[in-house]
Structure 1
Amino acid sequence: MSPKIVSVNVGKPKTVLYRDKHLETGIYKNPVSIPLYLSKVQLDGDGQADLAVHGGPDKALCVYSTDHYSYWEELLGPLSFGAFGENISVEGLTEKDTCIGDIYELGEALVQVSQPRRPCFKLGYLHDNPKLPLIVQETGYTGFYLRVLREGWIPVQPAFTLVERHSQGLSVDFVNRCKYSKTDNFEDYRTILSNEALAESWRGSFEKKLAEADQTVSANADRGQG
């Protein structure tokens, strides 16, 4: 089945009460039915609160698959589009189908898959379930981010058309598993790092993992020589 965008969602940051403190969050996204302009960093009408970890060129749009909604509704109850803070709710496209570096047409815009989405505590706040971010991480149902290669208007009910599949074929699911699962296959880290489309924040994470792995190998070798 070809992927189908079922909802475009935006929302400006709002201030909420979290653990007796005021917290600004952009996790609240609501469906819209008007054309929106997509710039290099976000959709018109959208916004992020903590720009150190959200938004920016590598994370201009958050995409989430509604194929996962039925799974989550067993835990969370009925969900509406934007329930995972996503800008694009898509049907027929999951983390296993999507590869880092894949390029899509989205209305007039051209976008590229840049990284998996890393769920933060604000998603747990949204659904009154503090464990939810970890559960999302463990399932691999994280969603993913897009960078904008060409700005343009996003019409109502836009098409989402694959223009170019990245030659490496590194799925979002695979990259998630390499980040969060214990592995001694360090070549996977090197392969991921060789993908020029990987977002800088995730590149730094895998560079750190590879450096730690190399240190462990060296330490084990030194002990063996003793």
Structure 2
Amino acid sequence: MSARLVSLNVGLPQPLAYRDTHVPSGIRKRPVSEALTLGATGLAGDGQADLRVHGGPDKAVCVYPIEHYAAWKDRLGRDLEVPAFGENFTVSGLLEENVCLHDVFRIGTATVQVSQPRQPCFKLSALHGEPKMSLWVQQAGLTGFYFRVLEAGRVAPGDRFELLERGPREASIEEINRLLHRDRSDTAAMRHLLALGVLAASNIREFERRLEGGGSDPLRRLEGPAAQVRER
């Protein structure tokens, strides 16, 4: 596996226009040229607005493949500047189909582990001014993923990823996305993934809820505050 950190991106929360209001969001990030410290909860100089669903140890680094940008340029009919998906790491060579939960990499002097797929929320739609953007990302399976940090260190643009340890091949990001967003009733596959013991806590809760017959609301994260108003 040959993979590289194409762009290193950080940003602090700021107002994001959404429908007829503004919501705080850290989705707007900027590339940096210097090395940054990567700690247990993320990069120096980076931040999230809503820590209930963003950030934390299992979502310390948001990763998005540069290879997907061409598909979104075609879909949207315009160029997209990195980081167009609010990612901390824009990478090459790490795609959902070949990255699995618990894959461990050395990047710079840090050690990171694949923790879970990214689940795009309504803020991605707000960022691009396209109401269906978050849904399109889910349906296409071009979500990117998160790293947790096993060993803090320094990372810089251009650093190469060194694969240290492979996670279970049946727990690819592509497979988790399939169950989260498309084949939502494949309970056998959900049970198998739960038994592997590699799922992040949020994915465990989601699959257990479905197995218990509780279902889930796939539109809530996509619609944001409007969905919460609708529920009340």
Global fold match (TM > 0.5): yes
- What are the Cα deviations for residues 82-127 of structure 1, in whole angstroms up to 9, with x where unaligned? 1111111111221001001111111111111111000011101111
* Aligned residue identity for 2:13: P
Say which is worse superposed, 150-159 or 179-188, in terms of deviation: 179-188
Structure 1 position 161, deviation (Å): 1.4
Aligned to 1:180: 181
Q: Does the CA-based 8 Å contact 2:8-2:156 persist in structure 1?
A: no
Alpha carbon RMSD of aligned pairs, Å?
A: 1.7
Structure 1 position 40, deviation (Å): 0.3
- Answer yes or no: is 1:61 the counterpart of 2:61: yes
Q: How does 1:211-222 map to 2 (within 5 A)?
A: 211-212=212-213
Aligned to 1:166: 167
Q: How does 1:72-151 map to 2 (within 5 A)?
A: 72-76=72-76, 77-151=78-152
Structure 1 position 16, deviation (Å): 3.0
Match of 1:194, SS state, is: helix
Q: Does the CA-based 8 Å contact 1:168-1:195 persist in structure 2?
A: no
Say which is worse superposed, 85-94 or 151-160, in terms of deviation: 151-160
Regions of 4+ moved over 3 Å: 182-185
Match of 1:147, SS state, is: strand
Aligned to 1:11: 11
Q: Does the CA-based 8 Å contact 1:34-1:156 persist in structure 2?
A: yes
Q: Distance in 2 between matches of 1:211 and 1:17?
A: 37
Q: Distance in 1 between matches of 2:198 and 2:125?
A: 29
Aligned to 1:48: 48
Match of 1:191, SS state, is: helix
Q: Distance in 2 between matches of 1:46 and 1:185?
A: 37
Q: Does the CA-based 8 Å contact 1:13-1:47 persist in structure 2?
A: yes
* Aligned residue identity for 1:143: G
Q: Distance in 2 between matches of 1:47 and 1:100?
A: 24
Structure 1 position 47, deviation (Å): 0.6
Describe the shift of the 1:4–1:156 C-alpha distance in structure 2 as closer, same or farther (beyond 3 A): closer
Q: Distance in 2 between matches of 1:11 and 1:185?
A: 38
Match of 1:51, SS state, is: coil
Aligned to 1:22: 22
Match of 1:202, SS state, is: helix
Structure 2: runs of 5+ lacking an equivalent: 215-232
Match of 1:212, SS state, is: coil
Q: Does the CA-based 8 Å contact 2:17-2:126 persist in structure 1?
A: no
* Aligned residue identity for 1:149: L
Q: Distance in 2 between matches of 1:184 and 1:116?
A: 19
State, as a whole percentage, how many aligned pairs show the same letter. 47
Structure 1 position 168, deviation (Å): 4.5
- What are the Cα deviations for residues 173-199 of structure 1, in whole angstroms up to 9, with x where unaligned? 011101222355422111111233321
Structure 1: runs of 5+ lacking an equivalent: 214-226
Structure 1 position 49, deviation (Å): 0.6
